[in-house]
């Protein structure tokens, strides 16, 4: 399902598709993650007591270029990394013009590949922009109270509408399957406890280094969902294993944020549910990207409230 996060002045509700004419709107295809109240697995991760939405694919180069064109004419927060253009095996985004009138363009046909060279702070500012209705929406407040921050640990605001997934939210969307039996968790986010090779089209495959890289050095990344159903989790997310590491909101070792899922440059071991990673929130690389989470659709929210006994039906008098 695609949600068009609305533009200026309109309330943001995931699940409500509102389009402002004559303005580009970033469309986020997301999936509902239900089964609230599930237990964690043996790693201690995956328990989530509420329904939520999570992006079907990693945030793309095309989506991030739209974001830059909306908010980075001067780019005071260094949302653009020149490596997005100079690292040819990533392709990515080019920048032209001078400060105050920068413009950004997708390079070649790379628009559906995941954006890389983004820090945790870049991802948080993207979430704030979505939270605030896109357009010229604020990047500094909303889901995260950043206000110019480029270091330190900043936590999600309680009223966030779009955010970087928590580690449990990310983990559940990737590995949990209530139909599996046993612990109800798979080892890999492909509804599988084993992975075949990394060639597009092979069963239970993903973009990781299996003796060689997919398309390297011509192109390291693959389009979101390139493996189709072979890469899908129970909830329908793509590429939570491989392609790029994804930021999550975990705080690790006091100064790092969480990373999950492995990448095109890592081994199959990185894709397993048992493997955690992390990095400083300002870290940027050609193998790190992100996806977003959001509040559930109204219908999902009603079902969640019913399941938790929070709705009371009053008899007419």
- Burial letters 33-51, b for 16+ CB under 10 A, else e: bbebebebbeeebbebebb
The pLDDT value given to residue 217? 52
Share of the chain above pLDDT 70, in %: 82
Q: State which fold the 32-72+111-317 domain adopts.
A: 3.90.1580
* Cα(117)–Cα(125) distance, integer angstroms: 14
What string of DSSP letters covers 9-50? TS---TT-----TTS---EEEEEEE--TTPPP-TTS----SS
The DSSP call for residue 147 is T
11 pLDDT above the threshold of 60: no
pLDDT band for 25, please (50, 70, 90 cuts). confident
Model confidence pLDDT, tens digit, residues 88-127: 888 899 999 999 999 999 999 999 999 999 999 999 999 9
Model confidence pLDDT, tens digit, residues 200-216: 666 658 899 887 777 65
pLDDT band for 236, please (50, 70, 90 cuts). very high
* pLDDT, the chain, mean: 86
Domain ranges for the chain, please list them: 32-72+111-317
Residue labelled with tokens 């992100």: 290
To the question of pTM greater than 0.85 for the whole model, the response is: yes
Quick check: bond before 151 cis, omega within 30? no
Model confidence pLDDT, tens digit, residues 133-175: 999 899 999 999 999 999 999 999 999 999 999 999 999 999 9
310 pLDDT above the threshold of 60: no
* Cα(68)–Cα(317) distance, integer angstroms: 56
3 state DSSP class of 111: helix
């Amino acid at each position: 399902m695609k949600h068009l996060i609305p533009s200026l002045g309109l309330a943001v509700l995931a699940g409500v598709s509102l389009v402002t004419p004559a303005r580009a709107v970033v469309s986020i295809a997301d999936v509902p993650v239900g089964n609230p109240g599930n237990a964690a697995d043996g790693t201690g991760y995956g328990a989530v007591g509420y329904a939520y939405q999570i992006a079907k694919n990693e945030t793309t180069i095309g989506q991030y270029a739209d974001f830059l064109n909306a908010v980075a004419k001067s780019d005071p927060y260094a949302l653009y990394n020149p490596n997005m253009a100079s690292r040819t095996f990533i392709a990515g985004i080019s920048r032209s013009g001078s400060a105050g009138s920068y413009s950004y363009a997708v390079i070649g046909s790379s628009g559906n590949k995941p954006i890389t060279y983004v820090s945790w702070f870049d991802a948080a500012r993207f979430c704030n922009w979505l939270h605030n209705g896109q357009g010229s929406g604020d990047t500094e407040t909303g889901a995260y109270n950043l206000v110019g921050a480029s270091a330190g640990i900043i936590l999600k605001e309680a009223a966030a509408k779009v955010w970087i997934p928590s580690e449990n939210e990310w983990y559940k969307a990737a590995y949990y399957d209530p139909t599996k039996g046993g612990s109800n968790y798979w080892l890999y986010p492909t509804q599988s406890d084993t992975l075949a090779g990394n060639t597009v089209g092979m069963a239970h495959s993903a973009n990781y280094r299996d003796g060689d890289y997919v398309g390297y050095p011509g192109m390291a990344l693959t389009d979101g969902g390139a493996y189709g159903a072979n890469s899908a989790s129970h909830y329908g997310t793509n590429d939570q294993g491989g392609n790029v590491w994804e930021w999550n909101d975990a705080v690790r070792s006091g100064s790092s944020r969480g990373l999950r899922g492995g990448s095109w440059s890592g081994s199959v071991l990185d894709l397993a549910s048992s493997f955690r990673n992390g990095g400083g929130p300002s870290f940027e690389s050609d193998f790190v990207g992100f996806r977003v989470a959001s509040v559930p659709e109204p219908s999902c929210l009603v079902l969640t409230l019913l399941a938790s006994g929070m709705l009371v039906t009053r008899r007419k008098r």
